[in-house]
Amino acid sequence: MERSPSTVSTVSAKPGTVDRQWWIVDAEGQNLGRLASVIAETLAGKRSPWYTRHCDTGDFIVVVNAEKVAVTGNKLRDKKYWRHSGYPGGIRSRSLGEQLERRPEEVLRKAVRGMLPKNSLGRAQLMKLKIYAGTEHPHAAQQPQPLRLTRVAEVTA
């Protein structure tokens, strides 16, 4: 039986229908902001044919060499990370250079977090991000594939 155009329905992803993949990204020499935007796009599922705005359809991402991420300009000195203890006078700051020395994973995590939704869906997507300062990671059993960071330009003849 042939369907008429008015009865065609759109298939929406449900939490159990998505087959999640594991990707690995080497952050060595990659620009921080550009890397974070590709990671956020993949975590949100926008690179998947199953993308649905209200469901978590993204993949898992393992980032290695987070301590070797690149930044341009004077950001190592000028960019500040602020935190507050909750007490009067309890505000503290660190420069990007200091933060990369102490906790390089958090630099990339905060950059990606700022690009995800600010709700429970964004928190669920961020939990699929695994960041490691060096080259070693405990996710070899998942057999992560290398993630392509650039889009392939379509050639029109």
pLDDT tens for each residue of the chain, 157 residues long: 566 667 777 778 877 788 899 999 999 999 999 999 999 999 999 998 888 898 899 999 999 999 999 999 999 999 999 999 999 999 999 999 999 999 999 999 999 999 999 999 999 999 999 999 999 999 999 999 999 988 766 666 5
Q: What is the pTM of this model?
A: 0.88
Number of H helices, E strands in the chain: 5, 6
98: tokens are 């200091």
In angstroms, what CA-CA distances link 99 with 67, 73, 113, 136? 10, 17, 16, 20
CATH code for residues 19-146: 3.90.1180.10
Domain boundaries, the chain: 19-146
